[in-house]
Structure formats: structure tokens, C-alpha cells
């Protein structure tokens, strides 16, 4: 899910009496700037959005995507996912 949806889910979980990062793990996707500003900071998958946009433009202009190298994604562990022992 996107970081925006994950942040909303953390709020709903708190309303239901659950503590994200302690009672349940939450993770998002995109690594938007807000992801590290919420409490607890949101674990996410960092996606190179500028690289995706550049490739989308190239495809729209007729370039063949088959020759594109894979984009690097990275898991960014933060406090919204509890440590597994």
C-alpha cells in the first residue's frame, strides 16, 4: 500500500486501541517525506519516483522499455514495524 494509506491505517488502528509498532507492524510504499515525520516513523519501501517518471516519459515518447535496467528499491526500516526476535 502507499505511505499515505499506511499512515491513515496507523490512525485507524490507534482509534481501535492498537499501538502501531508495538501491537502491530505497518509498512508503506513510496517513502514520502511524511513517512519519517509521523509517530511512530513509518517503515516503507523507497522508490526512485524521479526514475519512474523519467522512464514513463521515455516510453510515452516511443522508447522501448525492454532495454531499461531495473530500478533499485530499498526497504527503509523504521519504528512502525516491531523487531522480530
pTM equals: 0.80
Q: pLDDT value at position 17? A: 97
Q: Given phi > 0 = left and psi -120 to 50 = alpha, else beta, which region is 63? A: beta
Sequence length of the chain is: 85
Residue 27: φ, ψ to 5°:
-135, 150
In order of their start, the domains of the chain are 3-76 (3.40.50.2300)
Tens digit of each residue's pLDDT (9 = 90 or more) over 6-51? 999 999 999 999 999 999 999 999 999 999 999 999 999 999 988 8
Residue 22 CA to residue 61 CA, distance in Å, equals 47
Amino acid at each position: 500500500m502507499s505511505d499515505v494509506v499506511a499512515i491513515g491505517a496507523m490512525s485507524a488502528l490507534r482509534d481501535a486501541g492498537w499501538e502501531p509498532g508495538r501491537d502491530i507492524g505497518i509498512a508503506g510504499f513510496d517513502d514520502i517525506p511524511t513517512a519519517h515525520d509521523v509517530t511512530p516513523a513509518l517503515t516503507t519501501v523507497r522508490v526512485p519516483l524521479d526514475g519512474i517518471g523519467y522512464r514513463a516519459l521515455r516510453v510515452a515518447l516511443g522508447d522501448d522499455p525492454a532495454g531499461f535496467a531495473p530500478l533499485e528499491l530499498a526497504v527503509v526500516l523504521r519504528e512502525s514495524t516491531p523487531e522480530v526476535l
